[in-house]
Structure 1
């Protein structure tokens, strides 16, 4: 199945590169169309693919380690707290290469606060987890709103960035994202057996030789690193990490060796498709921020989960 889906993914990516306000015929391209394809469409599709993979993979890890099927970078507050650092960096004029550092620091701090608040007698309470994530989103949104009010000179940049989108694409950003994702993916893939054991209760996992605290801490840091880099480069693109792990588990089971791969693949495909739709949904060449599309689709999927799964979320 992996080779088939991989081929479908590559073919879809090639097709998405041809779609836009001006559709490109690969058999009859002008010099301008070739320039648009190579300088704009190709890096943008590749960038949306890697950002989607980062968000999908991080969502899969969050849901496993927190034992919460509604956990992702958005609902746990990791995305909003990462956005807080990025917004503050933009507002005070920090060089663009250091925005990711600010996003990672605040994202990690926010996630650790949510994690601590959700612990009850040493165990994670899924309901408290979501509530703590909501509180973190509210607090981060309040500080971001203050930043928009106080730093008026950066208002347009902040607002446009917060909507989420594949706007500022460059080959160096793409390279950084690919390297970070590849290293994280390889590490998590090698730890997939331990991650499967981590899905058990903590006592059982400890008795099987897994250092639960250390493993959870490491994968938290790596997942938040993925989120912070994605947020700092593309703004807040919500719900990708919520949707694709569920689709992956529904189709291919809960084995993390499979789930890591398919969550990354489906995350790439979802964001590539959403970004392509954002380029053509408004007539006349105007572009809709892709974060709006993923928020609508993710919100509807969230309602679907709440309506159909409820008490059967994780194994049902």
Structure 2
């Protein structure tokens, strides 16, 4: 099954490069079409896949460590907190290479605040965590709105960036995301057994020799790093990390040895497909920010989870 899914994903990636305002026939390409394919669409499709994989993987880890099936970078406030740092950096004219640093610092700070507020008697309260995430989103949105009001010169770039989209793609950014995702993925893959134990309860994990606090903090930092870099490069693309871990668990179970792979793969496929759709959904060559599409898909999926699967979040 895994090999077939990889083959399907590769074929989808190739097809996505051919789809756009101008459809490209791979058997009869002009020089201009060849340049469009290799210099514009190839890096963009790869970039959307990597960003989707980063968001899908981070969502899987958030849901595991917070023991909350509705947790992802959006609902926990990590995405909005990261966006706050990026918006402030854009407003203040910070060099582009430091925007990710701002996003990571504010994202990690916001997530840790939500985590602290969610602890009740040393245990995480899922409802409190969602409420704390909502509050964090409100606060971050208020500060972002102030930035849009006060820094009028940066208004257009901030608004377009907040919608979320695969824009300003460079090979350097692509390699950065691939390297970061690869390092985090390999670490989580090596420690998949510990992650499975961590999903049970803290006392069981501690009795088996796992430093729960250290492990949880480390994977929190890794997940937030994935989110903050993704947000700083592509804006707010919500709900990818909410949808794909549920699909992965429903189809292939909760074993983290499989879940981190399928969450990454489905996240890459979802964002790549959404970005492809955003290029052609509006006639005339206009492009819809992909964050709008993922928000629609994620919102509908969120309602589905709340209505039909309240008691069966984790067992498929």
Shift of 1:312: 2.8
Q: Does the Cα contact within 8 Å between 2:62 and 2:71 map onto a contact in 1?
A: yes
Shift of 1:311: 2.9
1:1-316 → structure 2 map (5 Å cutoff): 1-315=1-315
Tell me the alpha carbon deviations over residues 174-225 of structure 1, each in whole angstroms, 9 at most, x when there is no partner.
Answer: 0100000000000010010000000111111111111110000000000000
Q: Does the Cα contact within 8 Å between 2:84 and 2:103 map onto a contact in 1?
A: yes
Q: Does the Cα contact within 8 Å between 2:249 and 2:314 map onto a contact in 1?
A: no
Q: Unmatched 5+ residue regions in structure 1?
A: none
Tell me the alpha carbon deviations over residues 209-257 of structure 1, each in whole angstroms, 9 at most, x when there is no partner.
Answer: 1111000000000000000000000000000000000000000000001
Q: Unmatched 5+ residue regions in structure 2?
A: none
Give SS of 1:24's match. Answer: coil
What is the distance in 1 between the residues matched to 2:93 and 2:209? 47
Shift of 1:314: 2.5
Q: Does the Cα contact within 8 Å between 2:250 and 2:315 map onto a contact in 1?
A: no
What is the distance in 1 between the residues matched to 2:267 and 2:222? 17
Give SS of 2:311's match. Answer: helix
Q: Does the Cα contact within 8 Å between 1:48 and 1:271 map onto a contact in 2?
A: yes
Shift of 1:52: 0.1
* Superposition misfits of 4+ residues, deviation over 3 angstroms: none
What is the distance in 1 between the residues matched to 2:314 and 2:71? 11
Q: How many residues align?
A: 316
Shift of 1:288: 0.2
Q: Does the Cα contact within 8 Å between 1:68 and 1:314 map onto a contact in 2?
A: no
Tell me the alpha carbon deviations over residues 108-164 of structure 1, each in whole angstroms, 9 at most, x when there is no partner.
Answer: 000000000000000000000100000000000000000000000000000000000
What is the distance in 1 between the residues matched to 2:199 and 2:174? 33
Structure 1-normalised TM-score? 0.99
Shift of 1:315: 3.0
Give SS of 1:8's match. Answer: helix
What is the distance in 1 between the residues matched to 2:199 and 2:46? 32
Q: Does the Cα contact within 8 Å between 1:163 and 1:235 map onto a contact in 2?
A: yes
- Please report the RMSD computed on the Cα atoms of aligned residues, expressed in angstroms: 0.6
What is the distance in 2 between the residues matched to 1:87 and 1:311? 38
What is the distance in 2 between the residues matched to 1:180 and 1:122? 31
What is the distance in 1 between the residues matched to 2:223 and 2:268? 16
